[in-house]
Amino acid sequence: MSEARKQQPTLELVAERAGVSRATVSRVVNGSEKVKPEAMRAVEQAIRELNYVPNRAARSLAQGRTNAIALVVPENTAKFFADPYFAKVVQGAAQYLADTEFMLSLLLSTESDPGKTTRYLRGGNVDGALVLSHHSADRSYADLGGQLPLVFGGRTMSTDQNEIYVVDIDNIAAAKQATNVIIDRGRRHIATIAGPQDMGASLDRLTGFTQALAESGLEPAAVLESDFTPDSGHHLMSQLIESGADIDGLFVASAQMAFGALQAMAGAGLNIPQDVSVTTVDDDAFARNAVPPLTTIAQHPERQGAVMAEILIKRINGESVPEWSIMDTELILRASH
């Protein structure tokens, strides 16, 4: 056990740093909602600065483990249950943990109250956490890295990489490979529907797209930002068609968005791939059931979930693990390109 964990600051020190009473700090630590927002922010800031672990957590560490692991998804329930990627990662993690003493708990956290989840994680309720779908606004999870073993599914947007462990694919390489499939078809007016730019995977896939074009002496015909849902892909593709943009190729950052984009193109009378060559990332039901089926980069999320769980258990056990684990991908050629 590290010296930082042996010499945790007290509740009184947190109260002094935050400028509040000991009782207020106790209410924040225990998840009470009867705290003024400004006081709660001050306490949470003091906890981060002092690297404070509540007594409940200290007692748990002294007595043994909780044998519980949290899988945190900072998304609303509708998005979580609609996206097959999340289900596959959960399945992989759960299958790996089935042969261990650890139980897996799912925590869905919304932008409106990420502090509620971080307070729970800090409170000694779990031995570690897996974090998926990390956005730049979710800095509070990255800040927990010095207090609780964490493993992220996808790179974080944090500039402070201390105690950040990531399992991911090479999203830049995946996007370049998918875009080069279109370029190799002789297409020269290539657009992209990118993912939300507050996520590492989205930024990297846009980078890979632009790099592939630049290496072939091309400029993007259009760059549109979406939110990884079929509806957003349909909406943005419809806008692109209505604008009269001259495109003959389209790289889409996720299969869900590509599924919606194909529906919009079919509605406009475009033939795929004769009129527009389309590729994407993700080999899920959206990729396989699209019309035509999508050429894509498969990233094997079940394996990602299992590796995340394996690395987290090793971290909890004090074993040395790499900060970055890059998963293999596979190009799946189908009719859309």
Among 14, 30, 52, the domain-final residue is: 52
Residue 314 lies inside a defined structural domain of this protein: no
In the chain, the percentage of residues whose pLDDT exceeds 70 is: 88
Residue 156 lies inside a defined structural domain of this protein: no
pLDDT digits 0-9 by tens, 186-230: 999 999 999 998 888 999 999 999 999 999 999 999 999 989 999
Residue 276 lies inside a defined structural domain of this protein: yes
Which pLDDT band, with edges at 50, 70 and 90, does 6 fall under?
A: very low
CATH code of the domain containing 229: 3.40.50.2300
Among 9, 24, 52, the domain-final residue is: 52
Residue 333 lies inside a defined structural domain of this protein: no
CATH code of the domain containing 45: 1.10.260.40
Q: The whole model's pTM is what?
A: 0.80
What sign does the CA torsion over 106, 285, 237, 329 have? positive
Residue 252 domain boundaries? 171-299
Lowest-pLDDT choice from 15-24, 66-75, 159-168, 306-315: 159-168
Residue 327 lies inside a defined structural domain of this protein: no
Count of domains in the chain? Answer: 2
102 Cβ partners below 8 Å, 6+ apart?
67, 68, 69, 127, 313
Residue 15 lies inside a defined structural domain of this protein: yes
- Work out the average pLDDT over 113-138: 80
pLDDT digits 0-9 by tens, 38-95: 888 898 888 888 888 766 555 555 556 788 999 998 888 888 888 899 999 999 999 9
- Whether residue 164 is predicted with pLDDT greater than 50 in this model: the reply is yes
Average pLDDT in the chain = 88
Among 52, 68, 94, the domain-final residue is: 52
Residue 148 lies inside a defined structural domain of this protein: no
Residue 139 lies inside a defined structural domain of this protein: no
332 Cβ partners below 8 Å, 6+ apart?
283, 287, 295, 296, 297, 298
Tokens of 17: 């740093």
Judged on CB neighbours under 10 Å (0-12, 13-18, 19+), 191 is buried
Sheet holding 295-298, edge to edge: 222-225, 190-194, 249-252, 277-281, 295-298, 330-332
pLDDT for 264: 98
pLDDT for 4: 41
d(CA 287, CA 279): 10
